[in-house]
Amino acid sequence: MSLVERALEKARAATPATASGSPSVPDPAAPKRRRDETVSSPALTVFPRVAAKPDVIITPAQLQASGLRASADFLHQQTAEYRHVKRQLIASMA
């Protein structure tokens, strides 16, 4: 059993005892839970294993509207400025 699985088992065992207000002490004589047994846990209902809509479509218009993509005018101006600087550097090296 992996470290994560052991931590989950410990958290599941502690959940009912903490809800009643008493600290949880695992009973060494209690049988171990198997992985295929279902346990009602608040974490399972709050964080489902599979998202309802896992696919997210991001369009260029959404990126531009949120300010994460430069406008076409800005990109054209920036390209022209880089071209100007590049030409001056090449000319100074010759």
For residue 21, give Cα distances in angstroms to 25, 27, 42, 78.
12, 17, 17, 63
Global pTM exceeds 0.85: no
Tens of pLDDT, residues 11-70: 888 876 544 555 556 666 666 666 555 555 554 555 556 666 778 889 988 988 898 888
The reported pLDDT for the residue numbered 6 is: 83
Query: For the chain, which residues make up each domain, given as ranges?
Result: 3-56
pLDDT, tens digit (0-9, with 9 covering 90-100), for 81-93: 999 999 999 999 8
Mapping DSSP onto H, E and C, the string for the chain reads CCHHHHHHHHHHHHHHHHHHCCCCCCCCCCCCCCCCCCCCCHHHHHCCCCCCCCCCCCCHHHHHHCCCCCCHHHHHHHHHHHHHHHHHHHHHHC
